[in-house]
Amino acid sequence: MKKGLFITFEGIDGCGKTTQIKLLKETLEKQGEKVLLTREPGAKGLGEKLREILLNYEGEVSSNCESFLFLADRAQHIDTIIRPAIDTGYIVICDRHTDSTVAYQGYGRKLDLEQIHYLNNIATNGIKPDLTFILDIDVETSIQRIGNARDRMESSGIDFFNCVREGYIEISKQEPNRVKLLNGNDSIENLHKQIMDYIENLSADA
Ligand code: TYD
């Protein structure tokens, strides 16, 4: 059976991923593709429990512990949801994945980047997205869009989010073939068109 595609969306909180993901799913389904929409942390089952801790636990969470919880969620997600879907021909669209850990725990929390890459690789069994879209917005816009109802991660402060944003920009420079940095302030239609162009080029190359 035809092997599917694995596409991830990334960016700081409030960057507009959800809108683009929804549009992309609709367009691909209209083209007759089988699409699985999923997210990290917490797609379903055990992942939802981990998400609850990661976003809402009110006590102290060390940065290492936080990383391992995101990685545990990822390992379960890859093994039970993402890989089986790719293997049966689905286009898997995932809202956040490995680059979130690099950007948030690596650049944001300042954990060792090499170790994060190593651990990401264990969690994913070496499976990598075919394409990753980062929607880049400035931190002021992000904070305005998040508003006052903030979860544990969203309460990390402006300096933290500046580092996360820089991290994403750096990731896009390091892996330009896989990772496309898009201007999140562009119109919804323009962004969707750019995303579709990249996906069509990828399919044409395959
Ligand atoms: P979520 O509500 O899904 O945010 P968004 O709608 O912005 O994607 O919350 C996920 C939060 O977890 C978000 O602040 C990013 C953070 N995160 C990490 O810090 N590391 C990770 O590896 C992942 C997957 C997410």
CA–centroid distance for 2 within its chain: 24
Q: Which atom of ligand 1 is nearest to the CA of 96?
A: 24
Domains of the chain: which residue ranges?
5-205
Residue with the nearest Cα to atom 5 of ligand 1? 13
Pocket perturbation via mutation, ligand 1, pick of 62, 69, 94, 104 by most ligand atoms within 8 A of CB:
104
Centroid of chain to Cα 124: 13
Return the pLDDT at 2. 58
Mean pLDDT computed over 82-110:
98
Mean pLDDT of 164-185: 98
Q: What is the pLDDT of residues 127-169, one digit of tens each?
A: 999 999 999 999 999 999 998 889 999 999 999 999 999 999 9
CA of 152 to the centre of ligand 1 (A): 10
- What is the maximum span of the chain, computed from C-alpha positions, in angstroms? 50
Residue type present at position 192: H
Q: What are phi and psi of 92, to 5 degrees?
A: -95, 125
Domain at 5-205, CATH from 3.40.50.300, 3.40.50.150, 1.10.10.10, 3.40.50.1360: 3.40.50.300
Question: Is the CB of residue 198 less than 8 Å from the CB of residue 130?
Answer: no
